[in-house]
Amino acid sequence: MPLVSMRQLLDEAAKKNYGVGAFNVNDMEQIQAIMEAASETKSPVIIQASRGARAYSQDKYLYHLMLAANELYPEIPLVMHLDHGNSVETCKSAIELGFTSVMMDGSLMADGKTPSSFDYNVQVTREVVEMAHAKGVTVEGEIGVLGGIEDGHGAGGTGLEHVTDPDQAVEFVAKTGVDALALAIGTSHGAYKFSKKPDGSVLKMERLIEIHRRLPGVHLVMHGSSSVPKSLQDVINKYGGKLKETWGVPVEEIQLGIRNGVRKINVDTDNRLAMTGAIRKVFVETPEKFDPRDYLKPAREAMKKVVAERMTQFGQAGHAGDYQPLSLDEMARCYAR
């Protein structure tokens, strides 16, 4: 099975009203953890890499790791997605490398920090859509600006400064033709999302529900949606870490989003916490260990456990064999029609 289009995965998820987790990676162990979880739960999966991840792992290493994952798990529909592309050129380079889906985050300027204008966002996103669809590649856009910073990308803040406007969301979709739309509803990148369990004052689920009502055929995306469980924080702090108390996005809120048009859910921090906690545990309990395999294997297993749990909670578990994946050439013909 070739690497597949994200559009098809989201279309299929919409038919049965489930969500698909999109998990960030930087290295081999993270890809292995995700694919083992997908195989265990029989889930379609989106693996995504940011610009920071592409620089860290180097594009060719990353791409061939994805090909290896695809070869080892041919029964799993697998998408290779660019997370938070900052420019048309970044998206173009990803498509040329072999990514089957790209995000053009035109909500920020090319520096990845400065909030842009609506017109700029439409212009660059539309340019990427035209380029990508000609090759059968999916495009995710963003309207509104998330809080926090991840891999050097983000405007900072709490996430409430630039919440998505429903009127702009409708206009943006009409003018760009994006396949998926990321919304700003109060979530943030990173671990420190909320200083208390989020309620309606900081997590604007009613805004998401309104946008779904007005755009019922559009696949919505929740970014910054790690749940940051206290159990994962506690492991890190038990073994020498110093994480401040924090709250993420409750799974039940994500499930509410899924019932209202959310088809892609971005998860990164939870996996980082799981791996870091497992590594710290090895270092403290067996300080004589020095073989990287002694701490990377339990780290990989800890991440796999989190990913499998999210796949089940999002509803994608059991759906890997529901449909025959289309090639990018077939998707390109669909877009052309």
Handedness of CA 221, 125, 52, 28 (dihedral sign): positive
Within-domain flag for 1 = no
What gap in Å lies between CA 132 and CA 158, rounded to an integer? 32
Q: Do 110 and 86 form a contact (C-beta atoms < 8 A)?
A: yes
Total number of domains constituting the chain: 1
- Asked if the structure places residue 45 within a domain, the reply is yes
Q: What is the pLDDT of residues 277-303, one digit of tens each?
A: 999 999 999 999 999 999 999 999 999
Distance CA 298, CA 190 (A): 23
Residue 148 pLDDT > 60 = no
Its domain, for residue 139, covers 6-336
CATH of the domain at 51: 3.20.20.70
Q: Is 180 within a domain?
A: yes
Rounded to two decimals, the pTM is 0.94
Task: Decide if pLDDT at 147 tops 60.
Answer: no
Give the helix ranges, DSSP H, for 73-145: 88-97, 118-133
Q: What is the pLDDT of residue 187?
A: 82
* pLDDT score at 173: 98
Residues 6 or more apart whose Cβ sits within 8 Å of residue 212: 218, 220, 260, 261
pLDDT, residue 149, reads: 52
What mean pLDDT do residues 139-157 have? 68
Residue 83 catalytic? yes
Task: Give the three-class secondary structure for 247.
Answer: strand
- Given the residues 27, 59, 83, 234, the one annotated as active site: 83
Side chain identity at 207, as an amino acid letter? Answer: R
The residues near 71 (Cβ < 8 Å, ≥ 6 apart) are: none
Residue 157's pLDDT band (boundaries 50, 70, 90)? low
Residue 265 pLDDT: 98
Amino acid at 29: E
* Residue 134 DSSP SS3: coil
The pLDDT value given to residue 81: 98
- pLDDT, tens digit, for every residue of 53-92? 999 999 999 999 999 999 999 999 999 999 999 999 999 9
Find the range with the poorest average confidence among 111-115, 117-121, 190-194, 297-301. Answer: 190-194
Predicted local confidence at residue 336, as pLDDT: 95
pLDDT at 155 over 80: no
Q: What is the pLDDT of residue 250?
A: 92
Answer whether residue 246 is part of any domain.
Answer: yes
- 289 domain residue, yes or no: yes
Query: What confidence tier does 152 reach under pLDDT thresholds 50, 70, 90?
Result: low
Secondary structure letter of residue 135 according to DSSP? T
- Residue 112 pLDDT: 82
Strands (E) across 237-298 are located at 262-267
The mean pLDDT value for 226-241 works out to: 96
Per-residue pLDDT at 126 exceeds 90: yes
Average pLDDT over residues 150-162: 54
Q: Identify which has the larger pLDDT, 152 or 283.
A: 283
Number of residues assigned to the chain = 337
**pLDDT per position as a tens digit, 1-51:** 679 999 999 999 999 999 999 999 999 999 999 999 999 999 999 999 999
| pLDDT surpasses 70 at 153 | no
Task: Assess contact for 96 and 115: CB atoms under 8 A.
Answer: no
| Range 234-263 average pLDDT | 96
Tens digits of per-residue pLDDT, 183-198? 999 887 777 778 788 8
Determine the Cα–Cα distance for residues 96 and 106; give it in Å rounded to an integer. Answer: 20
